[in-house]
Amino acid sequence: MKKFSKVAALATFLSAGVSAGALHAQTAEVLHWWTSGSEQAALAEIRVAFEAQGGKWVDTPIAGGGNARAAAVNRMLGGDPATVFQFSIGQQLRELADQGLLADVNAVAEEENWDEKLPPLIVQAAKYDGDYIAAPINIHGENWMFYNKEALEKAGIEVPKSWPEFIDAAKKLEDAGIVPIGLGGQPWQERILFNSVLLGVGGREFYAQLYSTLDDELLASDTMRKVFETFAALKPFVDEASPGRNWNEATNMVIRGDAAFQFMGDWAKGEIIAAGVEPGTTVGCAFAPAVDTAYIMTVDAFAFSAMDGDEAQAAQQKMAQVMLEPDVQIAFNKKKGSIPALLDVPGDSFDACAQKAMTTLQDKETHLVSTGLFGVPSAVSGAIDDSISNFWNSADMSPEQGQEEFRQAISYAK
């Protein structure tokens, strides 16, 4: 990792704080994939706070997480880095640090005592070699199930608590002319559905074991067979226009009642809020059907490209500081659908679903990590998404074949 003196950085940061203003405007180009309405509204809370402290924000939105991350990395490799770029904490971010591409924000982290204020799991995943390589700003959960209450009523069904119950309910929704699952047919969204099935069928212990060990026997197990059978059984409940659909379009289907359910991270709740709907009223939230309670976490963060020059570094430090200010945490996360990363930020003004997330996370046994960017290396993450998507979209692949391809892809990538 590219290092700069902590003392020098802190001095630059502090003096910049004092002299912030037009003359010393610190410019930060911020590269991100937050292009939906709620994502933009949430990000604007950070931007306003940064600008209020004299910073100059240059916005570089790139639609699609994969595209944005590739652009951030390519620009770093090409010598034209964005000052700040969106990522998630975890193994893939540490891979970038390992290549020496990142600056640290230890000066702010020490000043603001992040070690004490952030949950230990987040501290650990946001660090590389003892250095903070990102500012973690929230906790999202990926195993949510959002549903349109009126659609469920029309079909005469309750919120399902198990996958067999879900399949029965889905048949009734079909009979009532309602699309059971609003799915954005993109590999990462298909993986989110798959991981909810995996968790729901296998249980949290199985999920944690499988993805932390990538063990061949677990991949070849009967439990995994059941997961693929259940996942395959969901295929008929998705409409024909699913392939390629964006996640927020699928959320809108549920808000309108065109689809009954969406299995998605709680950024979908951000869109529900942006549409003027109070979560828990006409659109409900529950965890995807499961045998036990768990929360598949992903933690949005902004990372900092290794760059020369005091101004860029001061802008990075200021950005990190602003992002974790309690007021910014509250304003940002209420619009984003997530909960604050900071432990000491009051959560009482958050919606009912966020309250459920906060209560759930108090029990450490519920803590699971996403395979998107958090819990597995990038090669494994890619193999997971690709093989799941391939299975989901192949009409003639049996669950046995899907499971075997998944096993092979992971074994090869790990």
Question: Which residues in 342-361 contact ligand BGC (CB under 6 A)?
Answer: none
> What's the min distance (Å) between Cβ of 33 and ligand BGC?
5
Candidates 91, 186, 252, 298; binder of ligand BGC (CB under 6 A) is: 298
Burial category of 75 from C-beta neighbours within 10 Å (exposed 0-12, middle 13-18, buried 19 and up)? middle
Q: How far, in Å, CA of 262 to CA of 272, rounded?
A: 12
Choice between 35 and 209, CB closer to ligand BGC: 35
Question: What is the number of the residue whose Cβ is closest to ligand BGC?
Answer: 267
Closest CA to 385 of 103, 105, 185: 185
Shortest CB 353 distance to ligand BGC, Å = 15
268 neighbors 36 (Cβ within 8 angstroms): no
Nearer Cβ to ligand BGC (230/248): 248
CB-based contacts of 317: which residues, under 8 Å, 6+ apart?
A: 9, 12, 13, 16, 105, 107, 108
CB 93 within 8 A of CB 61: no
The verdict on 245 binding ligand BGC (CB under 6 A) reads: no
What the block records as the tokens of 7 is 């003392």
Query: Which residues ranging from 143 to 202 are in contact with ligand BGC (CB under 6 A)?
Result: none
Is 45 one of the binding residues for ligand BGC (CB under 6 A)? Answer: no
Subset of residues 71 to 110 that bind ligand BGC, contact rule: CB under 6 A: 88
Among residues 190 and 300, whose Cβ is nearest to ligand BGC?
A: 300
Residue with Cβ nearer ligand BGC (148 or 251): 251
- DSSP3 helix / strand / coil % (the chain, rounded to 5): 55, 15, 30
Radius of gyration of the CA atoms of the chain, in A? 21
Name every residue whose Cβ is closer than 8 Å to that of residue 35 and which is 6 or more positions away in sequence: 61, 62, 63
Instruction: Give the residue with the Cβ less far from ligand BGC, 271 or 405.
Output: 271
Q: Compute how many residues bind ligand BGC; rule: CB under 6 A.
A: 9
Q: Which is nearer to ligand BGC, 195 or 230 (CB)?
A: 195
Query: Judged by CB under 6 A, does residue 39 bind ligand BGC?
Result: yes
Q: Which of 140, 191, 356, 407 binds ligand BGC (CB under 6 A)?
A: 140
Q: Which is nearer to ligand BGC, 141 or 402 (CB)?
A: 141
Q: Using CB under 6 A, which of 54, 65, 180, 185 touches ligand BGC? A: 65
Q: Give the shortest CB-1-to-ligand BGC separation in angstroms.
A: 24
Strand order in the sheet with 283-287: 179-181, 259-264, 144-148, 283-287
Provide the CA 410 distance to its chain's centre, in angstroms.
Answer: 21
Site track 253-272 with ligand BGC (rule: CB under 6 A), x = hit: --------------x-----
Which 17-36 residues touch ligand BGC, going by CB under 6 A?
Answer: 33
Kindly state the smallest distance separating residue 340's Cβ from ligand BGC, in Å: 14
Dist CA 341 CA 333 (whole Å): 9
Nearest to ligand BGC of 12, 38 (CB atom): 38
Residue type at 160 in one-letter notation: P
Residue with tokens 């946001």: 126
Among 300, 385, 404, 405, binds ligand BGC (CB under 6 A): 300
Helix (H) or strand (E) segment spanning residue 355: helix 352-361
Looking up tokens 């500081």 gives 321
The residues binding ligand BGC (CB under 6 A) are 33, 39, 65, 88, 140, 247, 267, 298, 300
